[in-house]
Amino acid sequence: MRKVFRTRVVGAILAVALVATACGSGDSTEGTPIDVASFGFNESVIVAEIYAGALERAGYAVEKTLNLGAREVVKPALESGEIDLVPEYVGTIDSFLGGNPSSDAQATWEEAKGLFEAVGVTLLAYSPAEDKNAYVVTAETAAEHNLTSISDLAAVAADFKFGGPPECPEREFCLLGLETVYGLEFAEFVPLDAAGPITIAALEAGDIDLALLFSSQGVIAEKGWVVLEDDMGLQPAENLVPAIRQAVLDEYGDSLADLLSEVSEKINQEDLTEMNKRADLDGEDPAVIAAEWLDANGYPAES
């Protein structure tokens, strides 16, 4: 995991920066550096690198705070101005803000946008690429227990070990949702990482029977694993979306919002899955992956 490699300057310097923001020129690439952050997993890092790279190539000053951590850390940092921009997911952030996300991406985005604006953050246009929680078993486990849907787990959950991120038991769309929507009680919940190499290794080794992975992960197809159908509609729409402080938009104007929205709309599901495979399975650098995507999608680096 890459480490966070910058610290926000505070105190008097921050106060000066805020004054500069309030007096920003608008629709100019010159101004306060934009701090682009990510959550602590490769997909978030890749998309953050794409946003950061697009901004840099358009002439904006950019700083990066990658692998910052879970939403409990990232959201307060965004609201306080410690960071400025992060790739979010419409359903998860809507729920986290107290909304009621659904499978309707537009309705979920609209609700989340309204809730976030109350704390000085807005959501720009969302991507067609989506990354939902996926409940995954090996092909052997699926065949042995005739599992095709999450509801099928009712017959075996009492004997199954379920592995996922440490915060999963308190999350509406993770273990809590499996218990309340599907009525599942597992033999054991095993705290691992956020659909990362520890979880993947545990499922492959048989240390857990069911894993929480993400639907855009290349490893699922690579290993021939089975994603159980969410037949009771637990998971909401989870389209990628840039969450950005309103103060930054006020400083730079519509051109910044237009650029980030355009980039988001160009990230499709196939691209996202392939980029995840390259980072997660092939061990490629997310920064290199992002740079190649930018080159291929009309955002050339300066010669």
**pLDDT, tens only, 60-88:** 999 999 999 999 999 999 999 999 999 99
What's the pLDDT score for residue 103?
84
Report the length, in residues, of the chain: 303
Rounded CA separation 109/97 (Å): 12
Instruction: Let me know whether 95 and 242 are in one domain.
Output: yes
Q: Is residue 100 part of a domain?
A: yes
- Residue 11: partners with Cβ closer than 8 Å, 6 or more residues away: none
Rounded Cα distance, 90 and 261, in Å: 14
Q: Residue 48 corresponds to which amino acid?
A: A
Question: What confidence score (pLDDT) does residue 105 get?
Answer: 93
Residue 5 lies in a domain: no
Residue 4 has pLDDT above 60, yes or no: no
Are 142 and 280 in the same domain? no
- What was the pLDDT predicted at 26? 60
According to DSSP, residue 130 is labeled B
The secondary structure element, H or E, covering residue 240 is: strand 240-245
- The domain that contains 161 carries what CATH number? 3.40.190.120
> pLDDT tier at 166 (50, 70, 90 boundaries)?
very high
- The Cβ of residue 119 has, within 10 Å, a number of other Cβ atoms equal to 14
Residue tagged 């790279």 (tokens): 53
Phi/psi of residue 210, each to 5°?
Answer: -135, 135
Domain finish residue from 205, 227, 249: 227
Query: What is the tally of structural domains in the chain?
Result: 2
| Domain containing residue 117: CATH number | 3.40.190.10
123 neighbors 241 (Cβ within 8 angstroms): yes
pLDDT category at 301 given cuts 50, 70, 90 is confident
Q: What is the DSSP letter of 206?
A: T
Name the band, by pLDDT with cuts 50, 70 and 90, for residue 302. confident
What string of DSSP letters covers 264-295?
Answer: HHH--HHHHHHHHHHHHTS---HHHHHHHHHH
Last residue of a domain, one of 207, 227, 247: 227
pLDDT tens sequence across 95-128: 999 999 998 899 999 999 999 999 999 999 999 9
Same domain, 89 and 208: no
- pLDDT tens, 168-218? 999 888 999 999 999 999 999 999 998 889 999 999 999 999 999 988 998
Torsion, CA 7, CA 12, CA 15, CA 21, rounded to 10: -70
Containing structural domain, residue 209? 133-227
- pTM score: 0.74
- The predicted pLDDT at position 221 comes to 84
pLDDT at residue 280 in the model: 86
Q: How far apart are CA 32 and CA 17, in angstroms?
A: 7
pLDDT band at residue 303 under the 50/70/90 scheme: low
Mean pLDDT of all residues belonging to the chain = 90
Average pLDDT over residues 228-255: 95
End residue of a domain, out of 227, 257, 288: 227
- Mean per-residue pLDDT for 17-28? 47
Side-chain-side CA neighbours of residue 114 (13 Å): 9
pLDDT recorded at residue 5: 28
More confident of the two residues 26 and 288: 288
Per the structure block, which two tokens stand in for 80?
Answer: 């306080």
